[in-house]
Chains A and B, each alone.
Chain A
Amino acid sequence: MTATEDMLTRAKEAILGRLSERSIPTSLVGLQEEYGKVVGLMRRTITMGESNSCLILGPRGTGKTMLVRHALKELQSEFSLSHSIADLDSKMEVEGDKKEFMIIRLNGLVQTDDRMALKEIMRQLSREGEAEMDGTNTTFSDSLPSLLTFLKAGTRAQYPIIFILDEFDLFAQHTKQSLLYNLFDVAQSAEWPIAVVGLSCRMDALELLEKRVKSRFSHRQYYTFPMSTFKEYVEICQNAIRLSPSDFNATPSTMDNDDLNMEIDNDTRNFITEFNRRVEALFEDEGFSDVVQQLYDFMKDVRGLYRLCFQPVSALSVSHPYLQPSQFYDSRLQQCVDNKTELLKGVSLLELCLLIAIKHLVGREIITFNFEMVYDEYKEFMDMAIARGTSSSSIGISSGGAMLSSESTTLRLYKKAVALKAFEHLVNSELLRPADSGGKGPKEYRMMRVMLDTSQISDVVKKHRDCPHLVAIWASRAY
């Protein structure tokens, strides 16, 4: 059983496409009901010319966008394949290769004000419908109706338009909400078949609407929630990293062909079976399912697992064509570690000492501190350490600040300026944050707060590569 380069490339592309959410997952899990409603709503707009508006709300990563993409894809294939079917709605005249409906996609992150959104609508309309528009109207309230009337005049038939408003809550923050007002107004007055679908991760998105806007909204809301059972979570993830014959189809656009399986030769089919078998075995692996379970328990976020899968999948090669559980352990270690601790592992001993001093200050409920206090605490420790060092072993610590190399217990009290530089390095990596915004006065005295937990500091002391015993004891000393 060998996998050819070509097969692997295709497999990787298909899986990575799903992981990066560029292609849609093969099946919906746990969202069928909402899906049916959304598709039905859009379909009614297209076939019957009914105007609709709805909101899809749900936390991030629960499949709002995916749901809409799925729905649009289905509608697109349904209506662009149905050219020849005669018994369509009489309103819809089939003209050449034009689609029977238009999709306008807007995203609150990109179209940051209504003017920009309008431009984008015009652009997408003109591209899709090839409509001729004169842009003489510059104010927003003028140009939207004129846009619609013009479209009506230019094309004889009314094209249903589906508006997808991603990050809906951001649109609601535009001044006067005029875009939303106009869209909902058109939808309500039933003069133009449009469907307005808003997506938002804010559950209170409806409350953001002004009264006049709200009253024009249909108050249809669909919710997507994170999967309720662990089984569903696993199913979604398995779907993403499993291969299906269509992934190997040479022409992905003809995915719906029935004779699809015929095009795949036996080797590929074997590869797919074997690959999927391995994937199932992977989910039965104890270590891996621990990882998945932990992710599920922490955040129920599919994207968390997707991120985890990226590396093992992209590392697939002809010599290692299947996913191994061990790869996921590495990847997990990398994605799920506490990054602050990782960052801190690389700091110098002096910076570590300053952090320990800060820990002691915080332990005494001095929450905001400045460099002078930290240095004073550090100095106290060093004085003590040096005194002890000189009494117990004369070589260990040299009092005059002279250095002895290759002696693991050498500690040295650094000058204030050197320590300040180390302190500023900590500030730069934003482990310390100014407590007040005013940047007045000498910087040694500026009050700071630490952005770490005391346990994180103790953790770093344990993990730090060359931390002398004495410092470790100092760090663990409690107040």
Chain B
Amino acid sequence: MAQARDQLHGMFPGRAKQIDQILSFMGQPCSPTPPSLLVNGNSSVGKTAVVKNILATTLGHHSPSRYAFIDCVECHTPRLIFEHAIYQFRSAPKGTRPRIHAPPTEDESATHPSATSQSSGSTKKDTRKRKRPASSSSHVDTSWEKCENVNEFVEWCRRICDQDDIDTAEDQEMAGSQEQTNDQRIKGGKDTRYLVLDRAERLRDTAPTLIPVLMRLQELTGRNICVILITTIVWEKFRSKTGGYEPIILHFPQYSKSETVAILERDLPEGEDAELYMRFVDLVYDVFQRNCKDLNEIRHLVALLFPLYVKPVKEGKIQRHEGLKLHRHIQAYFVEAMDKIYLREISSMEWSDRTTQAAGGSLHSRTDGDSSSSRMVSGAPGSERAMMTAVSVQNVFDLPYFTKFILIAAFLASYNPPRLDMRYFAKVSNQGGKMTKRAKVAAAKRHGHDSLGSKLRQQLLGPKTFPIERMLAIFYSILDEEAEETVHVHTQIASLVSLRLLQRVTPMDKLDSIKCKCNVSYETIKALAKSTKFDIDKYLYDFT
């Protein structure tokens, strides 16, 4: 036990307290446990890994597994959860070799199928069979058992827990006298079973009664079963309307800086300078922790960026101890990494390919000797970025000329208040024509900055729906040349809707008075307007 504890402490820096707590709750293999535990904490603080490893190191050697580990994303219905749990409980834990002779219980439970899953008639037969000693021992592999509802699962749990010493079976009064069997179990040393449900927040979507049942599975089965829920959200979100048994809550706090660094220290690439690496880890943590504390993200970034960091050192351009120089060298990559890698705009593979290419290119040009090294190092990601935006612009905005104007008109219709259409788009210049920028700012001052601090302006509220006729009117107004026939315009509108750039809010079977919404962001429309040389800012009301 102590050995396992030390081993686990070594495996998880900064989680010693949590490990000790879980281990003390588990106690001896057969000692009573809390009915349910809830492990919560932010993402990537080692919740799953700690629980899994504790169970594997302390109970991994038992052959019909003492624990079942279920991911609620994978098992999204009660039935899947039950069947997976039963299967795992009945087979050897993953990663360990099954014992050579299957325990007698395996045959036992294999020979009599779930009594309750049959029609009530077969109940009798099964119970008869139960009393007969299992004669056939042909089944060594555990079969997949059907279990459709909670009732059967509870029955299965009882059976699973009684597996090991079924030969001393006085399990006839199982359901009848729980207290007696309780005592017998403690005496007989029946071990605790653990049912771990990872990402348990998904359980709420499955069945309303499932969580209360799991919380008191120990009471319902009368067996020593401990349910462990692992989740990122707080327990309050799990409570059902009628309440129920509350679990013991174990909170995993976020790693501190020293703990994060200690974890990252293990990732030291082979053959690299430890001191240099640690300095880099420190730097990355300081830079990224402000917006991202996720250990996995930081690990990912360190792994990707470290080769770039040591590159000039290896090439002999910068000395190891010149921390500031190295810092300046890597900084440009940091900004880049934040945009591209952290947001997953490109895959890390793609990114590392590109950066090595770019770095290679700059190296070449350096040998040619036509520019200074410092400019190139920072210039490489810059040109990279230019290339990227060009690519994305081309992908999205390769629309026909008039269609671009339709989209712009839709954007204006979505964000401008209709009452100002007259002022913006009327061709007759009775009131001084289109608003000048100055007048617009003044108008914004008048209307927008009210008591709500301009937080309810349309730019922030998002697109409004508009009738298609209004959009067409704006379209003809902003278009300088004569427009095509309307049938083409309508085809284009339909195609924009199918591209989801416009969103139709009225049902498809309604043909007149169609209403739409513009689904395009301000940045996109700005780039689009620029490509058609249309000054959209002149027409937008209350935008910043």
Q: Which residues of A contact B (CB under 8 A)?
A: 9, 12-13, 16-17, 19-24, 60, 65, 69, 72-73, 76, 99, 102-103, 105, 107, 109-112, 116, 118-120, 122-124, 126-128, 132-136, 138, 143, 169-170, 201-202, 251-253, 303, 307, 310-311, 314-315, 334-335, 337, 339-340, 342-343, 345-351, 361, 364-366, 369-370, 372-373, 376-377, 401-403, 405-406, 410, 412, 414-415, 417-418, 421-422, 425, 428-430, 440-442, 444-445, 465-466
Contacts and interface: CB of A to CB of B under 8 A. Distances in A.
A169 B242 CA distance: 10
Contacts of A132: 124
A321 to B, nearest CB: 14
Given A109-B212, A119-B123, A422 B291 contact: yes
B462 A445 contact: yes
A339 B287 contact: no
Interface string B331-366: 100110011001100000000000000000000000
Contact of A20 (B34, B187, B287): B34
B42 interface: yes
B290 A116 contact: no
B182 A127 contact: no
Contacts, number: 265
B249 interface: yes
A253 B188 CA distance: 13
B248 A133 contact: no
B41 interface: yes
A12 B31 contact: yes
A339 B460 contact: no
Contacts of A127: 127, 172-176
Contacts of A133: 120, 123-124
Given A169-B242, A428-B43, 14 more contacts: A12-B27, A120-B151, A127-B176, A310-B248, A335-B249, A339-B236, A343-B234, A346-B253, A372-B460, A401-B335, A414-B291, A415-B338, A418-B343, A428-B232
Contact of A251 (B187, B212, B461): B187
B121 A402 contact: no
Contacts of A20: 32-35, 218
A58 to B, nearest CB: 12
B124 A126 contact: yes
Given A364-B452, A372-B462, A348 B292 contact: yes
Nearest to A123: B123
A421 B342 contact: yes
A252 B291 contact: no
16 contacts: A110-B151, A127-B173, A128-B172, A134-B124, A251-B187, A310-B25, A311-B25, A311-B248, A334-B251, A348-B290, A349-B290, A372-B462, A405-B287, A414-B291, A422-B292, A429-B42
Contacts of B286: 405-406
Contacts of B419: none
B339 A415 contact: yes
Interface of B: 21, 24-25, 27-28, 31-35, 40-43, 45, 115-116, 119-124, 127, 149-151, 154-155, 172-180, 182-184, 186-187, 201, 209, 212-213, 216, 218-220, 222, 224, 232-237, 242-246, 248-251, 253-254, 256, 283, 286-287, 289-293, 327, 331, 334-335, 338-339, 342-343, 451-453, 455-456, 459-463, 503, 505, 517, 519, 521
A130 B177 CA distance: 16
Contact of A310 (B34, B43, B327, B339): B34
A307 B250 CA distance: 11
Contact of B27 (A120, A314, A366, A401): A314
Nearest to A134: B121
Nearest to B339: A415
Contact of A60 (B25, B43, B232, B244): B244
B129 to A, nearest CB: 12
Contacts of B149: 112, 116
A349 B183 contact: no
Contacts of A373: 455, 460-461
B305 to A, nearest CB: 14
A103 B121 CA distance: 21
Nearest to B153: A110
A109 B460 contact: no
B519 to A, nearest CB: 6
A430 B253 contact: no
A135 B120 CA distance: 5
Contacts of A377: 455
- Of A72, A119, A169, A402, most buried by chain B (CB within 10 Å of CB) is A119
Contacts of B292: 348, 350, 422
Contacts of B453: 364
A102 B517 contact: no
B209 A366 contact: no
A201 B242 contact: yes
B342 A418 contact: yes
B45 to A, nearest CB: 7
Nearest to B327: A405
A350 B291 contact: yes
A412 B343 contact: no
Contacts of A349: 289-291
B180 A253 contact: yes
A237 B24 CA distance: 21
Nearest to A351: B291
